[in-house]
Amino acid sequence: MNVLSITGIKAAAAAKVVKGLNQLLADFQVYYTNLRGYHWHVRGPQFFTLHEQFEKMYDGAAEHIDEIAERILQLGAMPENRFSEYLKISKIKEQTKVSSKDDIIPLILNALKVLIAQERAVAALADEAGDIATGDLVSDLIDDQEKTVWMIASLEA
């Protein structure tokens, strides 16, 4: 069954949204993996606090990844699941063995900047397509990440 014929979203418009969501999915997968590494490798006087926060962040990212992949499916496409393919298109680069808060925090903020920009791009595509559900999804992601940016920036205040 063609779900789009029921939802009223035009296939050509949905394809543009799906392309944006696939980019977002790749970026989120790399972000998630980096957060796991930060959780494992962080050292220093704020270890306990940061270790716990990074776990909360990657748990949240995992939920967002699932939501994005499910939205791609709802739009009649198949989400990518190969990490090798994510690495080819992700705008967020893999990080490894980064252990200092002073190195990790700017990397997280930069990744959030990339994610928020991509989410805004997907929101614009969703708006053009009349795809309110995708628009709501990315709006919620932006809301969550802007709060995270504010909280992380407050570490340096």
Write the DSSP assignment of 46-105 as a string of letters.
Answer: THHHHHHHHHHHHHHHHHHHHHHHHHHHHTT------HHHHHHH-SSPP--S--BHHHHH
**The predicted structure's pLDDT at residue 1:** 62
- Picking from 106, 108, 97, 88, the residue whose alpha carbon sits closest to that of residue 35 is 108
Q: List Cα–Cα distances, 72 to 6, 69, 77, 78, 138, in angstroms.
A: 16, 5, 6, 6, 13
* Within-domain flag for 122: yes
* Within-domain flag for 6: no
pTM: 0.95
Residue type, 121: A
Q: What pLDDT, in 10s, does the model give residues 132-148?
A: 999 999 999 999 999 99
* Within-domain flag for 1: no
* Within-domain flag for 26: yes
* Within-domain flag for 7: no
- Picking from 24, 17, 15, 11, the residue whose alpha carbon sits closest to that of residue 118 is 24
Q: Compute the distance between CA of residue 95 and CA of residue 109 in angstroms, rounded to an integer.
A: 14
What CATH number does residue 100 fall under?
Answer: 1.20.1260.10
**Position 153 pLDDT exceeds 80:** yes
* Within-domain flag for 42: yes
pLDDT band at residue 157 under the 50/70/90 scheme: low
Q: In the numeric block, which tokens belong to residue 99? A: 């252990």
CA 101 to chain centre: 21
pLDDT band at residue 5 under the 50/70/90 scheme: confident
* Within-domain flag for 148: yes
Q: What pLDDT, in 10s, does the model give residues 87-130?
A: 999 999 999 999 999 999 999 999 999 999 999 999 999 999 99
Q: How many domains is the chain built from?
A: 1
Q: What pLDDT, in 10s, does the model give residues 19-67?
A: 999 999 999 999 999 999 999 999 999 999 999 999 999 999 999 999 9
**The predicted structure's pLDDT at residue 77:** 96
**The predicted structure's pLDDT at residue 3:** 82
Q: What pLDDT, in 10s, does the model give residues 6-17?
A: 899 999 999 999
**The predicted structure's pLDDT at residue 61:** 98
Domain that holds residue 40: 12-156
Which burial class, exposed, middle or buried, applies to 104 when counting CB atoms under 10 A from its CB (0-12, 13-18, 19+)?
A: buried
pLDDT (average), residues 151-156: 86
In DSSP terms, which residues pair with 43 in a beta bridge? 100
* Within-domain flag for 144: yes
